[in-house]
Structure 1
Amino acid sequence: MEMVLRALAIYLILLLVFKVAGRRALLQMTSFDLILLLIISEATQQALLGNDFSVTGAMLTIITLVTADILFGLMKKYISGAEAVMDGMPVILVENGIPLTDKLQKVDVSCDDILVAARQSQGITELGKIKYAILERSGHISIIPAEG
């Protein structure tokens, strides 16, 4: 039972940490982000398993984490507003070529991040050619080009 509670606690802590870190953390991984992710995964593994390195312990931990994820998915599906609380809402960052600086600061996204997404998805190199740039729940930036 201790392993199940440990797995649930770690799951909730990681969910909270990534909620506080924001969707910016999911946008693009730098080498620093990769190193941090590796360190977090190692610390998480040690916290999840403790001194129990058995196959049974690992399976119980995995089942607990997957079950928790399924339960959160069901909560988002059936409880009104749960998805907005857990995953946030899409945020418009650029409207008609004009960056919305207050929203950019709130979600910690730069105009350079938007231009990278615009170049990669639409071949756009200027903010003025973007009708909308939207930070999606997933951390991806969607670009809608301006007409003409």
Structure 2
Amino acid sequence: MVIAFLRTIILYAFIIAGIRLMGKRQVGELEPSELVLALLIADLAAVPMQDFGIPLLTGLIPILTLLCITMALSVLTMKSIKFRAVLCGRPSIIVENGKLRQGEMKRNRFTLDELMEELRMKGVTDLSTVKYAILETNGQLSVLPFAAQKPPTAQDLDLHLPEPGLPVVMINDGRVITRNLHSRGLDEVWLDKQLQQHHVKRTQDVFLLTVDETNKVCVIEKEAVR
């Protein structure tokens, strides 16, 4: 029982480390080659987890080999546009100037139901308002409306708004993030004053507290447990 537990932990940690080395893009978006990698790794890891007669290295070596191949392919796709097109494919324009390109839809086996679902998820209900709808290599649909259909920006309205910058989390679920506090040149005394101003007695009662670059504070208290 202990051996099974240890083998599973080792394989799990090994795979997580390998996926982390591949970078955040691969974790968030699966290209065809990366999907194949995920399926193969799952298959290879399952065998040594269940069969104690198989040496652990029998599972680790193929997984390591696949990860190395994938990392090498990632470097090649960065260096060569042609190789990237062969391995990952090219984006396909499904809608152009409000009109469907049925040939591209058939080539990608992309149905009308899938198109309408993707458009609804982007908040688009009228196909004629779409300048371009592009099926990306990872299977996601990018929708670009006509300029007249885009909501006006502050620049369009000639409004000069202050830049709030990036909010930084100072308290996360009752825990003070000291590193973030000090990175903004703040301290615990300042934090206590902010809590007093928002009528909060303890940091443990705060679910989230953020500060942006204009020193605007946002405090969300924990909900009472019923």
What is the TM-score normalised by the length of structure 1?
Answer: 0.63
Structure showing greater relative contact order (alpha-carbon pairs closer than 8 Å, 6 or more residues apart): 1
What value does the CA root-mean-square deviation take over the aligned residues?
3.0
Other-structure match for 2:107? 106
- Name whichever structure is richer in helix by fraction: 1
* Alpha-carbon contact 1:118-1:143 (below 8 Å) kept: yes
Aligned length: 111
Give the counterpart letter for 1:114 in structure 2: L
What is the TM-score normalised by the length of structure 2?
Answer: 0.43
Distance 2:63 2:106 in 1: 37
How do residues 1-148 of structure 1 correspond to structure 2 at under 5 angstroms? Answer: 44-45=43-44, 53-121=54-122, 123-146=123-146, 147-148=148-149
* Alpha-carbon contact 2:44-2:62 (below 8 Å) kept: no
**For structure 2, which runs of at least 5 residues remain unmatched after alignment?**
1-31, 150-226
Other-structure match for 1:12? none
Q: Deviations over 1:62-121 (max 9, x none)?
A: 111100101111111223410011111111000121100111111111222122111112
TM-superposed CA distance for 1:44, in Å, is 4.5
Distance 2:139 2:133 in 1: 12
Give the counterpart letter for 2:54 in structure 1: F
* Alpha-carbon contact 1:130-1:144 (below 8 Å) kept: yes
Distance 1:111 1:142 in 2: 16
* Alpha-carbon contact 1:75-1:82 (below 8 Å) kept: yes
**For structure 1, which runs of at least 5 residues remain unmatched after alignment?**
1-17, 20-25, 27-36
Give the counterpart letter for 2:89 in structure 1: G
Other-structure match for 1:9? none
Describe the shift of the 1:55–1:119 C-alpha distance in structure 2 as closer, same or farther (beyond 3 A).
same
Other-structure match for 1:30? none
Distance 2:105 2:112 in 1: 8
| Percentage of identical aligned residues | 25
Distance 1:95 1:130 in 2: 7
Describe the shift of the 1:65–1:43 C-alpha distance in structure 2 as closer, same or farther (beyond 3 A).
closer
